[in-house]
Structure 1
């Protein structure tokens, strides 16, 4: 049996340029407003046999607001950014420019003392590959945009550097179909378009 796993990117909790590594902030008012605007498009995904989410407050709140009652999956947590946790990319660059350059250039690098990009992609991919086929064919997972990017790199068997070329917008959906070791990207129509920020 093939699985159909639809990732819903969590609503935002800050403007894009203020995004922080491993951001634990809850949804802000703009995020709640975006969820309300697109809910009619995303609520039907609650019919999935299995509903999951990342452990972040905004992923849980997005899933709950959409009526998914998702089960938290630790494997869908954001990349462990070590001492850069809570910083923006600009702040990390200001403190450790050479370390940030090394991290961006080498997917195996861990200059922050956390998890490598390769390790992050593998962790998310392992979660994808271990979804229980016998429990049903449709899964929805609300996750941070970074987690969705990692899942796509894994599913497509793309080089880790591809991660930096994937743009995942808040409240967009991405579907992969298949089973362990064999995933296909599926386009289901027009993407969800939350308000511009």
Structure 2
């Protein structure tokens, strides 16, 4: 029994270097412009049997703007960054350089007092594994890029440090098919209207 889960990365909420850990970012104007530019390409995903989203404001707004009317899934929340919540990576590095180095080097570490990278990947993978197993079920999930990276590491059974080598662009789609414990990656790419943006 195979299901198909298509992840749609939430639209832009701020420039990349201004991204904050667990930030409650709304869509910025560039994000809204991107959604309208690619809506016609992503709208067919609204026909999915089940439609979900991360609990972040920009994930919910992206899903609503695309006509998905997604159900919020707490398991698809961003990694709990403890006392680094709301900081950029640069700010965390300026305050606690050794702690950030430890966090980047060891997927089990929690120098910020929150969730380890390994726990985050496992949580997102657990959500993936508990999707309905009806053969042919199609699911769409609008999520933060970090959540999609975690899902890919889990689905591919890749080492946790692989997480740092995956780039998920706003409004890109990534599909995995399969069932609990056995997932396959299907590369969909980013909508054509964004490929030259």
C-alpha RMSD of matched pairs (Å) = 1.4
1:164 aligns with: 164
1:191 aligns with: 190
Question: Any idea what SS the aligned residue of 2:139 has?
Answer: strand
**Residues 1-197 of structure 1 aligned to structure 2 (within 5 Å):** 1-134=1-134, 137-188=137-188, 190-192=189-191, 194=194
The answer to whether the 8 Å contact 1:7/1:175 transfers is yes
TM-score, normalised relative to structure 2? 0.96
Number of residue pairs matched? 196
Which ranges in structure 2 are unaligned for 5 or more consecutive residues? none
Residues 124-147 of structure 1: per-residue CA shift (max 9 Å, x gap)? 000000001239610000000000
The answer to whether the 8 Å contact 1:34/1:195 transfers is no
Question: Any idea what SS the aligned residue of 1:20 has?
Answer: coil
Which ranges in structure 1 are unaligned for 5 or more consecutive residues? none
- The alpha-carbon deviation at position 61 of structure 1 amounts to 0.1
